[in-house]
Amino acid sequence: MYIIRNAWLSVTRSLSRNLILCLIIFVISTAACVALSIQQSANLARNRNIQLMDIEAHINIDRQYVMDEMEDSDTTDRASMADTLSDLSSMTLADYETYEAAPSVEDFYYSLTLSLDGNDDLKPLSENEHADLTDLLDSSAPDSNRGSGAPTSVDILATITYQGDFQLIGYVSDKAMGDFQDGVSEITSGTMFEENTSDYVCVISEELATYNSLSVGDQITLVNFQNDAQKFVLTIVGLYKDSSDDTTTATDAFLDPANRILTSYAVANDILDRSEDYEDPSAFVTTEKQDSGKYIEKLLTTNGKAVTPTAEDAQTDSDAAADSTAATTDSAASTTASTTASTASATTSTASATASDSAASTSAVSDSTATTATTTDTDSSTDDSSSEDDDDALTGTIDATYLFKTMSDYEAFETQVRDLGLPDKYTVVSNDVATYEASLVPLDNLKTFALTFLFVILGIGGIVLVALNIFSIRERKYEIGVLLAMGMSKMKVTAQFVLELLMITFLSLACGVLLGSSISVPITNELLASQVAQEESLSSAKVTSFGREVSATYTKPKGGDVEGEVAYISTISFSVDYSVLLQMAAIGIALALLSGTVSSLYVMRYDPLVILTERD
Amino acid sequence: MSILTMENVSFAYDRRTPVLRNLSIQFDQGGAYAVVGRSGAGKTTLLSLLGHLMRPTMGNIFFDGRNIFEMNEYFYRSHCVGLVFQNYNLLPRLSALENVELSMNIAQSGSRHKQVDAEHYLQKMGLTKAQANRRVLKLSGGQQQRVAIARAISTDAKVILADEPTGNLDKQTGMEVLDLMLDLAHNEGKCVVIVTHAQDIAMRCDAIFKLPLVNPVGVA
């Protein structure tokens, strides 16, 4: 095609005219290339990192949804809203397990958190006056006649929501212990209890151990803060160290991570059951002693670790063989009894006696009973807590976590659980995604900036190009006239002019991309660094104004823990790839066509007579 | 034999300024015609109409019996007529050869040896091979006009329309260029229409039309 040849000759033989055009397009394309690669890097960094990490998600109550619902049904006064909200029960374990069936779930685990007090030998770190108030409450509670006469100070105190000093967290599996998985916490002495063991053992923090002069093998006694008589004895099998640096800021005992006592889900759930069916304090204590004794013995034989049992334990060991049957049946009895809530003590003892005879023969039977009971128990415990306000049994919080391999799995999960029957008042949330989004703030800011920059550059560049082309084409009207007079059609003349522009554009574009791609990485990282600095100074400003870490965006609550600061994505490593090149090509074509339109309009309106009448 | 026929052609830029009025002229093959007249008499307008660069207000022009205004204007300009201008109107960035080749390309000449053909036309107009490969701006005025004539005949057009072809040339060069054009008319059977001011040029043509036209001054 002679048009292409002609266009090429035209471009190469009038370099001075095209040079300024080249220069402008070169600048535009360099800038556009940097902007696009920033965008691209931002997207890639987002996707790549989110693919690399496992996503943990939870199912929570969507309070806003519930409130919206109530507004729709004209229940707008605050009192009834509060009632409805407090009546909202968390999901039961059985519910959680139903949704585990969603195909995108990679893994599922949960923990049960109980709030307990220590006895006189076990004092919490970060203790405050709450403890004294409860002591007062406990000592005077029997004397006060509740519901009759004027409210005493004790009554008022009783209305204060009190939490135990210690958090007893029972994990269903090793995977549920995220801090240990992540290496934030580690065992420094002794060993971790076996996965979901039913032995009454626990792991406590080094700090708590030091504070109470405890060591591996010692026993601790936890008390139901609402009922002093309920005592639970656990044996320490290991000490752990929490290396996250937020442990010292807690102002309340129950907030201090050092006061967390870790055990298995089975144990935590057992304690919950016993607390509900609590009748006879002596039954607990003996059982636990024997259980832990057995466990220590097992540790000694299997691990060969230098764990020295206390004299008391050694003594229990000798009795262990004789009492072990009784221990097993006891636990079976209590769980069986719990299915029929609030029975008289006489019935319980009868049941216990019957159970000991029948279940003693095989441990398998009692095991299966326990499993069935667990599920039912959780139901009844939540029912109890909502319906009977003055029930002093312990209540537990299930923290169930679903694990996903990819972001798309996580996104699919919500639809899947809705199909499985998750009511609308629950919502799927993931702190990982939220935290990750927060870490992307600088990158996103940069992306927005880059996009704006891109549009500005393209806008200004486009205008300049059009203006230049108007001048250029006016200069060439003589040429157009000649071509038309020679019988070249206006279409072909236009095609030639657009072709010339395309050639110039792509030549300059190629240079622009070369330069742009080589400078985009340092430029992006430079900009990102300043963004991160800005974001960090913002966050430290917030800390100053709050006087503590601001939890909304900058911390990651997980299992009651408060993790450290967000690690911002502060560098990118790659910039230009084929999609950027494609976008650049699209920009090039758009620019060429835009300025080509000017040429076309001019040519189309052109009258070749002009060259005949102008004879200079 | 008539190749180009004007039938009652009138042209006015607007109602109050008629330029051409009811003009009927026959141009024959092998004839060289001069169109003379004062400035503003409509010489260039006449040429523009013949070249299908403008349309007449009334009347028609026939090329070889076909109404040119019913033909594709680009086809007509590229195949039927060749235009030669006072200021040559060559493309300055191209060499003489490329200018001629481009014209052949536009006419979609079927020749497989366009370059050879183009060289041949230029040679016929008296340009050497070295001159043919020079950029046209490096050539003298006379040489440029020769290139323009070569370009005009390169498409085998039967009609050459020349607008003051010697206007920018000195007398001797002008005469040489005129000789070339007369030669094309008399020896190659082209129809050559020359618009000119110069009396001596006009006198050498076969017929002279003086605008505003009352009667043809002479017929071949």
Q: Which of A76-80, A267-271, B32-36, B54-58 has the lowest mean pLDDT?
A: A76-80
- Phi, psi values for residue B88, rounded to 5°: 65, -40
- What confidence tens digit (pLDDT) does each residue in B65-121 have? 899 999 998 999 999 999 998 888 898 889 999 999 999 998 887 777 888 889 999
- What confidence tens digit (pLDDT) does each residue in A223-233 have? 887 777 788 88
CB under 8 Å to B124, separation ≥6 — which residues? B150
Q: For the whole model, what pTM was predicted?
A: 0.58
Between B3 and A554, name the one with better pLDDT.
B3
The dihedral region occupied by B164, where left means phi > 0, alpha psi between -120 and 50, and beta the remainder, is: left
pLDDT for residue A310: 43
Q: Report how far residue B54's alpha carbon sits from residue B74's, in angstroms, rounded to the nearest whole number.
A: 12
Q: C-alpha angle with apex A90: A84 to A96, nearest 5 degrees? A: 145
Task: Calculate the average pLDDT of chain A.
Answer: 70
3-state secondary structure A382-440: HHHHHHCCCCCCCCEEEEEEEEECCHHHHHHHHHHHHHCCCCCCEEEECHHHHHHHHHC
Between A384 and A453, name the one with better pLDDT.
A453
Distance from CA of B75 to the nearest CA of A (A): 6
- Phi, psi values for residue A128, rounded to 5°: -135, -170
Alpha-helix runs per DSSP H in B95-213: 96-106, 114-124, 129-132, 141-153, 171-188, 199-203
Taking the CA atoms of A593, A599, A604 and A608 in sequence, report the sign of the dihedral they define.
Answer: negative
Mutate to test the interface with A, among B89, B111, B138 (most CBs of A within 10 A): B89
- What confidence tens digit (pLDDT) does each residue in A402-447 have? 888 877 788 888 888 888 888 888 888 887 777 777 777 777 888 8
Q: Which of A21-30, A191-200, A370-379, B188-197 has the lowest mean pLDDT?
A: A370-379
Q: Does B209 touch chain A (CB under 8 A)?
A: no
Q: Does B167 touch chain A (CB under 8 A)?
A: yes
Q: Output the CATH code of domain B2-211.
A: 3.40.50.300
Inside any domain, residue A333: no
pLDDT for residue B186: 93
Q: With an 8 Å Cβ cutoff, are A488 and B78 in contact?
A: yes
Q: With an 8 Å Cβ cutoff, are A612 and B78 in contact?
A: no
- What confidence tens digit (pLDDT) does each residue in A285-326 have? 444 444 545 555 544 444 444 344 444 444 444 444 444 444
pLDDT at position A121 over 70:
yes
**CB distance B19 to B46 below 8 Å:** no
- What confidence tens digit (pLDDT) does each residue in A149-183 have? 454 555 545 445 567 788 888 888 887 787 777 77
Q: What is the DSSP letter of A164?
A: -
Mutate to test the interface with B, among A12, A475, A480, A482 (most CBs of B within 10 A): A482
**Domain residue ranges in chain B:** 2-211
Three-class SS state of A242? strand
pLDDT for residue A279: 61
**Number of inter-chain CB pairs under 8 A, A vs B:** 66
- What confidence tens digit (pLDDT) does each residue in A570-598 have? 666 555 677 888 888 898 888 888 888 88
Mutate to test the interface with A, among B11, B35, B39, B48 (most CBs of A within 10 A): B48
Taking the CA atoms of B43, B48, B54 and B57 in sequence, report the sign of the dihedral they define.
Answer: positive
Q: Distances from the Cα of B148 to the Cαs of A148, B33, B95, B177, in angstroms?
A: 123, 19, 12, 11
Please list the residues that pair with A234 across neighbouring strands.
A220
Q: Does B56 touch chain A (CB under 8 A)?
A: no
Inside any domain, residue A138: no
pLDDT for residue B191: 94
Chain A residue nearest residue B152, CA to CA: A486
pLDDT for residue A34: 86
The dihedral region occupied by A74, where left means phi > 0, alpha psi between -120 and 50, and beta the remainder, is: left
Nearest to A9 among B79, B94, B167 (CB): B94
pLDDT at position A3 over 70:
yes
Between A80 and B135, name the one with better pLDDT.
B135
Taking the CA atoms of A176, A180, A183 and A184 in sequence, report the sign of the dihedral they define.
Answer: positive
Q: Report how far residue A98's alpha carbon sits from residue B59's, in angstroms, rounded to the nearest whole number.
A: 93
- Across the range A30-41, mean pLDDT stands at 84
From chain A, the residues in CB contact with B47 under 8 A are 612
Distance from CA of B47 to the nearest CA of A (A): 9
Q: What is the DSSP letter of A152?
A: P
Tell me the pLDDT band of A555, cut-offs 50, 70 and 90.
very low
pLDDT for residue A288: 46
Q: With an 8 Å Cβ cutoff, are B74 and A489 in contact?
A: yes
Distance from CA of A505 to the nearest CA of B (A): 21
pLDDT for residue A545: 53
Q: With an 8 Å Cβ cutoff, are A612 and B102 in contact?
A: no
Q: With an 8 Å Cβ cutoff, are B163 and A14 in contact?
A: no
Three-class SS state of A82? helix
Nearest to B103 among A13, A486, A611 (CB): A486
Nearest to B54 among A10, A489, A609 (CB): A609
Tell me the pLDDT band of B63, cut-offs 50, 70 and 90.
very high
- Across the range A359-381, mean pLDDT stands at 37
Token pair 């009190």 in the structure block, residue: A162
Amino acid found at B190: K
pLDDT for residue A450: 85
Q: Does B164 touch chain A (CB under 8 A)?
A: yes
**CB distance A403 to A55 below 8 Å:** yes
Q: With an 8 Å Cβ cutoff, are A615 and B102 in contact?
A: no
Give me the percent of chain A exceeding a pLDDT of 70.
62
Q: Report how far residue B65's alpha carbon sits from residue B42's, in angstroms, rounded to the nearest whole number.
A: 25
Q: Does B138 touch chain A (CB under 8 A)?
A: no
Token pair 């002279």 in the structure block, residue: B208
Mutate to test the interface with A, among B39, B46, B53 (most CBs of A within 10 A): B53
pLDDT for residue B139: 92
Chain B residue nearest residue A479, CA to CA: B91
Nearest to A488 among B54, B86, B106 (CB): B106
Please list the residues that pair with B9 across neighbouring strands.
B23
Q: Does B166 touch chain A (CB under 8 A)?
A: no
Q: Does B74 touch chain A (CB under 8 A)?
A: yes
Inside any domain, residue A8: yes
Q: With an 8 Å Cβ cutoff, are B89 and A611 in contact?
A: yes
**CB distance A419 to A439 below 8 Å:** no
Q: Report how far residue A184's alpha carbon sits from residue A161's, in angstroms, rounded to the nearest whole number.
A: 31
The b-or-e profile of B78-115 (16+ CB within 10 A means b, else e) is bbbbbbbbbbbbbbbbbbbbbbbbbbbbbbebeeeebe
Q: Which of A363-367, A462-466, A610-614, B149-153 has the lowest mean pLDDT?
A: A363-367
Q: How many domains does chain A have?
A: 1
Token pair 């920059």 in the structure block, residue: A453
Tell me the pLDDT band of A328, cut-offs 50, 70 and 90.
very low
pLDDT for residue A609: 67
Q: With an 8 Å Cβ cutoff, are B53 and A486 in contact?
A: no
Q: Report how far residue A281's alpha carbon sits from residue A369's, in angstroms, rounded to the nearest whole number.
A: 23
pLDDT for residue A189: 85
Distance from CA of B220 to the nearest CA of A (A): 28
Nearest to B44 among A10, A481, A613 (CB): A613
Tell me the pLDDT band of A36, cut-offs 50, 70 and 90.
confident
- What confidence tens digit (pLDDT) does each residue in B30-42 have? 999 999 988 778 8
From chain A, the residues in CB contact with B153 under 8 A are none
Mutate to test the interface with A, among B47, B79, B93 (most CBs of A within 10 A): B93
pLDDT at position A144 over 50:
no
pLDDT for residue A613: 60
Token pair 């030091």 in the structure block, residue: A210
Domain range for A599? 2-52+440-613
Inside any domain, residue A152: no
ipTM given for this complex = 0.90
Q: Report how far residue A126's alpha carbon sits from residue A248's, in angstroms, rounded to the nearest whole number.
A: 9
Distance from CA of B174 to the nearest CA of A (A): 17
